[in-house]
Chain A
Amino acid sequence: MPEILAIKNLTKTFGNLTAVDSLSFDVQKGEILGMMGPNGAGKTTVFNLITGVYKPDSGKIIYEETDITHLSAAHRCRLGIGRTYQIPRPFENMTVFENLLVGAEYGANLKGREARQEATEILDFTGLLPKKDLFAGKLPLLDRKRLELSRALATKPRLLLIDEVAAGLTEVEIENLLQIVKAIQQRGITIIWVEHIMMMMNKGVDRLLVISGGKTLMCGDPKECMESKEVQEVYLGVEEG
């Protein structure tokens, strides 16, 4: 499989804190790459660097064989990088449908009826269609998370970054979302997925990348990663001996 994204020696510091420390990894086309790490490991910072919300201090981001390190966030979105936010950031005073239109018209550059069709189709896919005319600010948590996903999908991404979509949800809701994410992969979209919930990482991802302190701790088969002593130590806080 060819790689869709390659991160090379990426570093980002905030004052004295090195959030991402010379991190390198790549993502294969079509896979779901899980990303784990304890709080403050730099997962969300990595997402912000890939999507262009932050600019790195050094290192390179290669997407579909193009260096995108210095492109704006909006530009990267138009190239096909979509994301969701850990804490949903809906456009609260706009309807659910309008939220998706933003993605479809700006991110995917669709016009008029095409954009409306795309938005309707995605809402149907994620199960939000009955709520399309509600204001996004009035949605409960599960629907906000769905909206995050739907809105990102409306930009027609080829690479989708999912940031803790399952946090704070019940088991049934999580199962439901897992199905949606799997179905997104079926559509040919490559996914990087950050999640804390072991079950989802076990079931949902093809490869797992574990980071700690902004560095790669381990990368490979999810089961192997989670069973490794190193990972358990850092992630679960298991004491040695």
Chain B
Amino acid sequence: MELLRSRRFIGIILILLGLIALPYWASRYWILLVLLFSLNLALSQMWNLLAGYSGLISLGQQAFIGLGGYALAVFSVYYGFPIWLSIILGGTVSVLFALLISAPIFRMRGVYFAIGTWTVAETLRILFSNWKYVGYGMGLFVKPTYALSFNTIYFTALGAGVASVALVYFLLRSKLGLGLMAIRDEETASETLGVDIFRCKLCCFLISAGVTGAVSGVMYLHHIFIQPYSAFGIDWTVQMVFITIIGGIGTIEGPIIGSFLYVFLHQWLSEYPNVSLLILGSIAIGAILIAPKGIMGTVQEKLGFEFLSPRRK
């Protein structure tokens, strides 16, 4: 077991070193792919934390994508704040907004929670597209003055992806993770064992909002423009759902596998723009029918193999 663990540890280090060294040997195309992979990973890992571990099926993660992106634009362009500070502020704004909406939104359960979160994001979209300060529906320039090097953006994205996996891993092995798993298995019993359900779920909601907001800032570093119809569009969440379901919801490795597949499918399908969504949709439906637990979920069930296990001994 010790040997296995150290081998696994070395494996992880090697992969990470390979990814860190990527800009020095790979083509720009490959760097871009890994960049997209990392960002998708971070975002879908946060959706996985909500839906897979807390039972909160949110369809409104785009609210935090939009807030994070706009925060980057407003703080760095309007106020001249440093870019990194603006990204962190984007996360902070997202957490505060999540806190604000948590009181009404947590009264809803299941599918109502999904619709509720979606509605909140739609409201933001309409609000932002009618708000002069952020340029109405036209949107804002994200980085007219400072341009970061492509490599810097790459390293930031990679960091975000790795950090999101580590965050969920350690979170699940903490007291919060124990409570979440208990709630997922038996809500009533968990309560009579002292687990404060509302607090556990709120905690996840806030963490997920904060990280999504900040990661969105990193993502918009390599965009030129932000405008409300795309920033607050549900496509973001659909993408996270696709990645998590294909990879395996409720597993830490799921979003890793899912993001990998998604990025490649996306590249490949861009050659067939008129049927690409159709194919992605069919794959998702197929996965749900054949392997409802996703790739990693099925592998774990059949082989008992867990690469990053949240189990505690």
Question: Which A residues form the contact surface with B (CB < 8 A)?
Answer: 51-53, 72-75, 77-78, 82-83, 85, 89-95, 97-98, 101-103, 105-109, 111, 133, 151-152, 154-155
Contacts and interface: CB of A to CB of B under 8 A. Distances in A.
Contacts of B194: 74, 77-78, 102-103, 106-109, 155
A43 B135 CA distance: 64
B188 A89 contact: yes
A108 B193 CA distance: 9
- Which 7 pairs from chain A and chain B are nearest by CB? A107-B194, A106-B194, A91-B185, A77-B194, A89-B189, A73-B191, A102-B182
8 contacts: A53-B192, A77-B193, A90-B189, A91-B189, A93-B185, A102-B179, A103-B194, A107-B193
A73 B192 contact: yes
Contacts of A152: 193
Interface string B184-218: 11101111111111000000000000000000000
Interface of B: 175, 178-179, 181-182, 184-186, 188-197, 311-313
Nearest to A76: B192
A20 to B, nearest CB: 18
Contacts, number: 85
Name B's interface SS: helix
A93 B193 contact: no
Contacts of A97: 312-313
Contacts of B313: 97, 133
B170 to A, nearest CB: 14
A106 B193 contact: yes
Contact of B178 (A77, A102, A109): A102
B204 to A, nearest CB: 16
Nearest to B200: A106
B195 A74 contact: yes
Given A95-B311, A155-B194, A106 B179 contact: yes
Contacts of A77: 191-194
A73 B311 CA distance: 26
A108 B194 CA distance: 8
Nearest to B190: A102
A82 B193 CA distance: 7
Given A98-B178, A105-B178, A133-B313, A151 B193 contact: yes
Given A93-B181, A102-B182, 13 more contacts: A73-B192, A74-B192, A75-B196, A77-B193, A91-B182, A93-B185, A102-B178, A102-B179, A102-B190, A108-B194, A109-B194, A133-B313, A152-B193
B175 to A, nearest CB: 5
B196 A74 contact: yes
A94 B181 contact: yes
B193 A155 contact: yes
B312 A102 contact: no
A106 B311 contact: no
Contacts of B191: 52-53, 72-74, 77
A85 B191 CA distance: 13
A98 B311 CA distance: 8
Contacts of B182: 91, 94, 102, 106
B147 to A, nearest CB: 47
A109 B178 CA distance: 13
Nearest to A98: B312
Among A78, A82, A95, A105, the most chain B Cβ lie within 10 Å of the Cβ of: A105
Contacts of B181: 91, 93-94, 98
Contacts of B312: 97-98, 101
Contacts of A72: 191, 196
A111 B179 CA distance: 13
Contacts of B190: 91, 102
